[in-house]
A and B are shown apart, each in its own frame.
Chain A
Amino acid sequence: MRLALERVGHAFLGRTVLDDVSLALDAHETVAIVGPSGCGKTTLLAIAAGLFDPLSGGVRRAYARHAAVFQEPRLLPWRTARENIGYGLEVRGVRRRARHAIAERLAEAVALAPEDLDKFPVELSGGMRQRVAFARALAIDPEVVFFDEPFTALDVGLRRALQDLVIGSARERGYAALFVTHDLLEAVRVAHRVIVMAHRGGRLAGMRTVADAPGWRDERTIWQTAEAWRTGDPLFAHVFGVEERA
């Protein structure tokens, strides 16, 4: 067990966002959290990542390093791609030369051209920026990675490529991941388990396990699973019913 949320509850100005949420993340496991927008997914992730403390309950962490990839790339605009990738390492006191060597290696891993490393974020396309953000997360060799709807802003082809990158790197490096998304297809593709949040009250509605490991499923099964859950599974009915009304 890498990470455990125990009876976590949170409220903003008296409005309950999370209520009695418990979940555990095993080593080498990717768990997706789906739910309609505004259900508290991002708050849950922020609490798990330690960005703020919950009002009740607690978070137990059995690891040393975590990293995060956000919906927007959140790169420092005044730093080149190379220096952005090294940011987490810099925080950990790694020397410049070593940082740059790691950045160069990771650029290759996320399919970023070497000449792009000296560019500033304004000079990169949206997909490349998100690749840099992903490389920045991998650079610190994390044991847990938090993904907050990381590919929502990208087009379908790019999203697929980056999903494959997440699946591949998770298997290769063995990190555990908490992956927030509202795309069920994405959840079924990248995760071992899918946790569904209720659209009101900040509670967990339930959990489904996807057959086989991520990366070993063929497209057909992924699509059929997602479709079967969307149309036939009462657990998901409220998620997409609410979104259609919104």
Chain B
Amino acid sequence: MIVRALGRLGRYAWSGWAGLTGLCCIAAAWQAGHEAYGSFILPAPLDTARALAALAASPEFLRTATETTGRALAGFTLAAVGGSLIGVLAGYSHAAIRAVKPILTVVLGVPPIAWIVLALIWFGSGGGTAIATVLIAALPIAFAGAAEGVATRDRALDAMARAFGAGPLRRFRSVVLPHLVSHLFPAWTTTLGTSFKVAVMAELLSNAGGIGGALAVARANLDVADAMAWVVLVVGLLLAFEYGVLHPVREELERWRAAGVPWGVKR
């Protein structure tokens, strides 16, 4: 069993080559942009990597990176858990979804930057502002995914489970939850991306340190290579959490989907 799980993990890692191809395409386009517009507008990918390495050598680097990661992940966890829970409850009632949807539109319609201003007034400048903004910006996405997942559950399977005497809790676990996964994970991926983006933005605007703060410093110094290096770092962190944590978990939970695909890169 463990051997089989390792085999699947190996296959997942192997499919990373396909993902790497996409990243290399971006790097190539980036290099082309650099050659067309010069180092000041767009530093070369390798120069950026060098700048990132130089930053990584400094003692504050780790603190800066963990600060932002911690805020983004704290906001993500709160948003994903809270949003999914409320979403699941609402998903059982179409009336509840109808009632909540306009609220979502309102919350999503207010730009994150406005939430930052409000959060600054409410929480002052500091980590709380970043986390609160991430929570507000990301929670509706997780909610919508969960509610959609429960609302689109297979009622025929639900009736089957009831015919075999399954109670509501077991029906949720065996019929609704596995279906929910396929709605939750795309929503969580978006939630995670939003979390990192909004966390950096909140830090930049609220002077709360972290990568956002470092970006503000790079901008003040007109240090484009440093700014790019920080951007690359944020994206790298996002990629690491998405493909290192979210996707392998999903892969393991959705083995039955891959079973229908005969060969090749399955995910």
A residues neighboring B (CB under 8 Å): 46, 49-51, 66-68, 70, 72, 74, 76-79, 87-88, 90-92, 119-123, 136, 140, 146
Task: Enumerate chain B residues within 8 angstroms of A46, measured Cβ to Cβ.
Answer: 159
* Other-chain residue from B160, B166, B178, B257 in contact with A68 (beta carbon distance below 8 A): B160
Q: How far is the CA of A40 from the CA of B178 in the complex (A)?
A: 32
* Other-chain residue from A50, A70, A77, A121 in contact with B160 (beta carbon distance below 8 A): A70
Q: A120-B259, A122-B259, A123-B260 are in contact. Are A72 and B163 (CB under 8 A)?
A: no
* Other-chain residue from B162, B164, B260 in contact with A140 (beta carbon distance below 8 A): B164
Interface check B249, CB cutoff 8 A: no
* Other-chain residue from A88, A120, A136, A146 in contact with B260 (beta carbon distance below 8 A): A120
Contact B164 A88 (CB under 8 A): yes
> Can you show 14 pairs from A to B with CB atoms below 8 A apart?
A50-B163, A51-B162, A67-B163, A68-B160, A72-B156, A76-B157, A76-B174, A87-B164, A88-B165, A91-B161, A91-B164, A91-B165, A119-B259, A120-B256
How far is the CB of A142 from the nearest CB of chain B, in Å?
10
Task: Enumerate chain A residues within 8 angstroms of B162, measured Cβ to Cβ.
Answer: 50-51
When C-beta atoms are compared, the residue in chain A nearest to B260 turns out to be A122
Q: A67-B163, A67-B164 are in contact. Are A123 and B259 (CB under 8 A)?
A: yes
How far is the CB of A132 from the nearest CB of chain B, in Å?
12
Q: How far is the CA of A51 from the CA of B260 in the complex (A)?
A: 32
Interface check B170, CB cutoff 8 A: yes
Contact A76 B156 (CB under 8 A): no
When C-beta atoms are compared, the residue in chain A nearest to B261 turns out to be A122
Interface set, chain B 244-265, CB cutoff 8 A to A: 254-257, 259-260
Interface set, chain B 69-106, CB cutoff 8 A to A: none
- Mostly, the B contact residues are helix
Interface check B175, CB cutoff 8 A: yes
When C-beta atoms are compared, the residue in chain A nearest to B179 turns out to be A78
Q: How far is the CA of A66 from the CA of B107 in the complex (A)?
A: 49
**Further contacts, 10 of them, CB under 8 A, given A74-B157, A78-B178:** A67-B164, A72-B156, A74-B159, A77-B256, A79-B256, A91-B170, A92-B165, A120-B259, A123-B259, A123-B260
Task: Enumerate chain B residues within 8 angstroms of A122, measured Cβ to Cβ.
Answer: 256-257, 259-260
Contact B163 A49 (CB under 8 A): yes
How far is the CB of B142 from the nearest CB of chain A, in Å?
22
Query: Which of A67, A78, A121 has the largest number of chain B CB atoms within 10 A?
Result: A78
How many contacting A-B pairs (Cβ < 8 A)? 57
Query: Which of B164, B166, B170 has the largest number of chain A CB atoms within 10 A?
Result: B164
Contact B166 A91 (CB under 8 A): yes
Query: Which of B161, B163, B166, B178 has the largest number of chain A CB atoms within 10 A?
Result: B163
Q: A76-B175, A87-B174, A91-B170 are in contact. Are A68 and B256 (CB under 8 A)?
A: no
Task: Enumerate chain B residues within 8 angstroms of A119, measured Cβ to Cβ.
Answer: 259
Task: Enumerate chain A residues within 8 angstroms of B166, measured Cβ to Cβ.
Answer: 91
When C-beta atoms are compared, the residue in chain B nearest to A68 turns out to be B163
Contact B156 A70 (CB under 8 A): yes
Task: Enumerate chain A residues within 8 angstroms of B170, measured Cβ to Cβ.
Answer: 91
* Other-chain residue from B163, B165, B254 in contact with A146 (beta carbon distance below 8 A): B163
Interface set, chain B 139-179, CB cutoff 8 A to A: 156-157, 159-166, 170, 174-175, 178
Q: How far is the CA of A122 from the CA of B164 in the complex (A)?
A: 22
Task: Enumerate chain B residues within 8 angstroms of A51, measured Cβ to Cβ.
Answer: 159, 162-163
Q: How far is the CA of A78 from the CA of B255 in the complex (A)?
A: 8
Query: Which of B156, B165, B166, B178 has the largest number of chain A CB atoms within 10 A?
Result: B165
When C-beta atoms are compared, the residue in chain A nearest to B157 turns out to be A74
Task: Enumerate chain A residues within 8 angstroms of B257, measured Cβ to Cβ.
Answer: 122
Q: How far is the CA of A119 from the CA of B256 in the complex (A)?
A: 9
Q: How far is the CA of A130 from the CA of B174 in the complex (A)?
A: 20
When C-beta atoms are compared, the residue in chain A nearest to B156 turns out to be A74
Task: Enumerate chain A residues within 8 angstroms of B174, measured Cβ to Cβ.
Answer: 76, 87, 90
**0 or 1 for each of B223-261: is its CB under 8 Å from A? (1 = yes):** 000000000000000000000000000000011110110
How far is the CB of B177 from the nearest CB of chain A, in Å?
9
Task: Enumerate chain B residues within 8 angstroms of A140, measured Cβ to Cβ.
Answer: 164
Q: How far is the CA of A50 from the CA of B156 in the complex (A)?
A: 15
Q: How far is the CA of A120 from the CA of B259 in the complex (A)?
A: 7
Q: A87-B164, A91-B164, A91-B170 are in contact. Are A78 and B256 (CB under 8 A)?
A: yes
Q: 10 tightest A-B contacts by CB?
A: A122-B260, A68-B163, A78-B178, A74-B160, A120-B259, A88-B164, A120-B256, A78-B256, A91-B166, A49-B163
